[in-house]
Amino acid sequence: MHKVTRLRHALPLSQDINAAVGRLDKAIVEAVDAAKSAGLPQGLIVSLLHGHAHAQTHQMVTESP
The conformation of residue 38, written as its DSSP 8-state character, comes to T
**What is the distance between the alpha carbons of residues 12 and 31, in angstroms, rounded to a whole number?**
29
Residue 38's pLDDT is: 98
**What is the distance between the alpha carbons of residues 7 and 2, in angstroms, rounded to a whole number?**
14
Residue 61 — pLDDT band, cuts 50, 70, 90? confident
Global confidence as pTM: 0.73
pLDDT in tens, 5-47: 666 666 788 888 889 989 999 999 999 999 999 999 999 999 9
Cβ atoms 45, 31 nearer than 8 A:
no
